[in-house]
Amino acid sequence: MSELAIEPDKISQSHDIQAIFENLKANQFNVGRTTVRARIAKLKRFHATMLRFQEEINEAMWADFRKSPTEVAISEIGVVNTEIRHAIRNLRTWLTPKRVGMPLMMIGTRSEIRYEPKGVCLIIAPWNFPFCLSLAPVALAIAAGNVVVLKPSEMAPHSSAVMKKIIEEVFPANEVAVVEGAVEVATQLLALPFNHIFFTGSPQVGKIVMRAAAEHLASVTLELGGKSPVIVDETANLNLAAAQISWINAMNAGQICIAPDYVLVHENVKEALLLKLKEKSEKFYGNTPEARATTPDYARLSTDRHFSRVKDLLDDALAQGAQLVFGGNTNAAERYIEPTLLDHVPDEAKIWKEEVFGPVLPIRTFKQIEEVIEYVNKDERPLAMYIFSARKRFIEQIFAETRSGGIAANECAIQFYHNDLPFGGSNNSGIGKGHGEFGFMEFINQRGITFQNRIFPHTLLFMPPYGGKLARLLLKGVARWF
């Protein structure tokens, strides 16, 4: 086979993808013209159908990575539910054209901003919260009047199949299409001239997406990841801090983009915090390694590749001299990694260099706030940061002297749940924001519109030949008064 030849099944796949795209593109203005009332009706149907599939969603998530139905309710269905209901409540306001004033330069005109759909949108989702990170952006794209291709992650195949069923039940194929597949399929999709690409995943793939988008100058929203630090000051309520850190670090087996990635704790309270963290892990998941390995409340790593990657980070840290404070047990056959705490991890360990994205939490100490700021700022900007402290000045200084996508004081991950807060990263952790009106606006073309009066458009005064008295006066005025 020559280098340029494509295998037959890939040819038919790429033709299908092209046909799906053309079909959506041909329908974009019909969908874009739909009324607020029609879009709300669609969102309600979408919502009701998703709830009807709740049992199938639970089964799919258990089959994909043994995620407990309670976590599915809190972090998958609950999030999509809130996003859709919030959009239904606010859509009329979001879509109402905004009148703007009339500056002197625009005398005699009337102007407004209209909120138009961008057109044909591509949503590429990761596997770690397959429903939430696929269906919530679809809801916002639909609310904005777009037509959509959703490509769920191939790493959560059961969830992907259920989403396809839900979408096909609610939307015609020329409005929302689900295209399942892995990297080749994503690559074929990225070659098409979408108007907007909403990507959630790793910074590495985010760069590939942005490069592909540049070919067509498609706008992008990149919801990426990174290392999200937790800072624990000596004034923190250690009991609460430990509960929140342990819960979110082990939820979804640590496979959360905004999970605590490492802890920076004041040296005076390190031992006390470690004790509390151990206590909380035992309380949440069981007093013995056997209990923790069998509790239905604790998920698994999603694939063998992800299991090996996290296990390798753990093994590397231990080989370099890290001290195992808690956990450390693993089971490759089950893709199980126990909630694990590491202390005294040398700087050279790989765990300090890449996003852990698993239930292994390294801890390091600080004496002065300046050390915290320097440590956080030396690397890429985090997606999230968490500060546990009773001192407002400490918290405010960290706010002022660091940058991240989001930040929470005395809590972990809670910022994700507020629909009136923008959710997203900063540079390496993301570009653009999701959730509520911020996410909706990513799918909107804000079109500036001006109506000129038809009797005496003021622009007549500026036209050539230049040099007349009135024109000279006006030009002087342009510089001084307008």
Which residues form the catalytic set? 223, 257
Residue 151 interacts with ligand NAD (CB under 6 A)?
A: yes
- Please tell me the distance from the alpha carbon of residue 56 to that of residue 466, in angstroms, as a whole number: 73
- Please tell me the distance from the alpha carbon of residue 275 to that of residue 303, in angstroms, as a whole number: 31
Token readout for 151 is: 């490509």
Residue 194 interacts with ligand NAD (CB under 6 A)?
A: no
Cβ-based neighbour number of residue 105 at 10 Å = 13
Residue selected from 28, 81, 128, 160 as contacting ligand NAD according to rule CB under 6 A: 128
Residue selected from 68, 153, 219, 419 as contacting ligand NAD according to rule CB under 6 A: 153
Could you say which residues in the range 426-455 bind ligand NAD, by CB under 6 A? 430
Residue selected from 77, 177, 253, 257 as contacting ligand NAD according to rule CB under 6 A: 257
Binding piece for ligand NAD, criterion CB under 6 A, among 57-65, 69-77, 136-144, 222-230: 222-230
Residue 53 interacts with ligand NAD (CB under 6 A)?
A: no
Compute φ and ψ for 433, nearest 5 degrees.
Answer: -130, 150
- Please tell me the distance from the alpha carbon of residue 215 to that of residue 377, in angstroms, as a whole number: 32
Residue 201 interacts with ligand NAD (CB under 6 A)?
A: yes
Residue 183 interacts with ligand NAD (CB under 6 A)?
A: yes
Residue 124 interacts with ligand NAD (CB under 6 A)?
A: yes
Token readout for 457 is: 């458009």
Residue 208 interacts with ligand NAD (CB under 6 A)?
A: yes
Token readout for 303 is: 């694939």
Q: Smallest gap, in angstroms, from Cβ of residue 213 to ligand NAD?
A: 11
Residue selected from 182, 332, 449, 475 as contacting ligand NAD according to rule CB under 6 A: 182
Binding piece for ligand NAD, criterion CB under 6 A, among 123-131, 338-346, 406-414, 460-468: 123-131
Binding piece for ligand NAD, criterion CB under 6 A, among 89-97, 221-229, 241-249, 317-325: 221-229
Q: Smallest gap, in angstroms, from Cβ of residue 421 to ligand NAD?
A: 13
369 or 441, CB closer to ligand NAD? 441
Binding piece for ligand NAD, criterion CB under 6 A, among 183-191, 269-277, 282-290, 450-458: 183-191
Half-sphere exposure of 308 (CA within 13 A, CB side): 3
Please choose, from the candidates 205, 253, 227, 141, the residue with its C-alpha nearest in 3D space to the C-alpha of residue 425: 227
- In DSSP terms, 221 is beta-bridged to 198
Residue 205 interacts with ligand NAD (CB under 6 A)?
A: yes
Q: Smallest gap, in angstroms, from Cβ of residue 129 to ligand NAD?
A: 6
Binding piece for ligand NAD, criterion CB under 6 A, among 53-61, 63-71, 181-189, 242-250: 181-189
| Length of the chain (residues) | 482
Look up residue 363 and give its amino acid.
I
Residue selected from 79, 133, 143, 231 as contacting ligand NAD according to rule CB under 6 A: 133
What does the binding site for ligand NAD look like in residue numbers (CB under 6 A)? 124-128, 133, 151, 153-155, 182-183, 186-187, 190, 200-202, 205, 208, 223-225, 257, 355, 357, 383, 425, 430
